[in-house]
Amino acid sequence: MLDQLLENDWLFEDFSARELEQLAGAMIERRMFSGEVLVLEEERPDRLFIVIEGAVEVSRQAEDGDRVLALLGPGSMFGLVALLDRGRRAATCVARQPGRIAEMPRDSFDLLYKSNAPLADKFQYAIARQLARDVKQMTRVLLAETLGG
Amino acid sequence: MAIDPGRFRALFPKLCGALSDAALAPLLDALRPRPFALGEQLCKQGAHSARAIFILRGEVELRVSTPDVTATLGVLQPGRWTNAIPLIEPGQAEFDVYGRTEGAAVELTYGDLLALRRDHPNTARVFLQGLIGDLSFRLRACELVVTPSARTSSTAAGRAFGWLGGTTLPPNAIVPIEEA
């Protein structure tokens, strides 16, 4: 069951069993295949993803070809930024191993993110934690490229 | 120090949303005054941190060091904040923060944020949405700068990079200031 899989995710460690069940109810779990394009740069976002099993590569088109930005493993949430700022996808995400992925459709995301329910508070904090980690990682890359070291 | 809600709202509109003064009060009560002097270090890169700093008056400078070089990233003016990541997830501070002038800031600690989330969830929700919006912008900015594409003009990248310094700095504004 998806709620039991989410229980092991660092993002949801403070969720109760009931809250995990509710969160899982807003998501669809499915298999992903190696090489499957989950998110395409510049497309309009329609869902959020959580890697349950397997690996997902994040890349972005640059002037000199595709640039890999990150490799995401189980427990990673991705596809957040475009849902939050209503812009286009900033990167392409491709499954690099067969595995399992959970998807939350945009409508469910919007409802949960804007809701006043206790579950929404925890979900919002999980989003903040994921973004904090992503920004930290990207800042490291940025500074290493700009300053070296 | 009592912080005037109107002044805080004017400086940090995204963190206050449409909260009434009464709803904003628990956040203002949780903030701790942090006056600073010219040249004073408010935060040390790499040191454990669990607090964000919100600038009310004066300016602070952000610096970052690598094994080879120390660089200034920019200057934060009133209405900007830094160290939001350790506030959300305590850990190493990303930057050195120094007073560039004498001034005043307020800090919010991870513990106080937890208490705010527990006791005043509506206030915490609005505040967190402001932080999330900023992190989201910052992530896009990093991606634009790291992988400039034909679609990304240098002006857009420079504008996006402004999150670091509180001013609109082009990417090449990361200027080494001394050999480490």
Q: Where are the domains of chain B?
A: 5-179
Domain spans in chain A, listed from the N-terminal domain onward: 2-147
Contact B135 A132 (CB under 8 A): yes
Is residue B20's pLDDT more than 90? yes
Cα(B175)–Cα(B180) distance, integer angstroms: 13
Bigger pLDDT: B125 vs A117: B125
For A2-147, CATH gives 2.60.120.10
pLDDT digits (tens, 9 = 90+) for B68-118: 788 888 889 999 999 999 999 999 998 899 999 999 999 999 999 999 999
CATH placement of domain B5-179: 2.60.120.10
What is the rounded distance in angstroms from the CA atom of residue A69 to the CA atom of residue A90? 11
Residue with the two structure tokens 């596809």: A79
pLDDT at B122 over 80: yes
Question: Is A65 within 8 Å of chain B by CB?
Answer: no
Min distance B167 CA to chain A CA atoms (Å): 18
How far, in Å, CA of A84 to CA of A79, rounded?
Answer: 9
Check the CA dihedral A117-A123-A129-A135 and report its sign. negative
Look at residues A113, A116, A95, A93 and name the one whose alpha carbon lies nearest to residue A104.
A113
Please answer yes or no on whether A141 and B146 come within 8 Å at the CB atom. Answer: yes
Task: Provide the pLDDT for residue B65.
Answer: 84
Q: Supply angle C-alpha B24, B81, B5, rounded to 5.
A: 25
For the ranges A142-146, B100-104, B176-180, the lowest mean pLDDT is seen at B176-180
Separation between Cα atoms, residue B128 and residue B105, nearest integer Å: 19
Sheet holding B103-109, edge to edge: B32-36, B103-109, B51-57, B81-82
Residue B174 pLDDT more than 60?
Answer: no
Which tokens in the block code for residue A113? 């993110």
Q: Could A124 and B133 be called an inter-chain contact, meaning their C-beta atoms sit closer than 8 Å?
A: no
- Are A72 and A56 within 8 A, CB to CB? yes
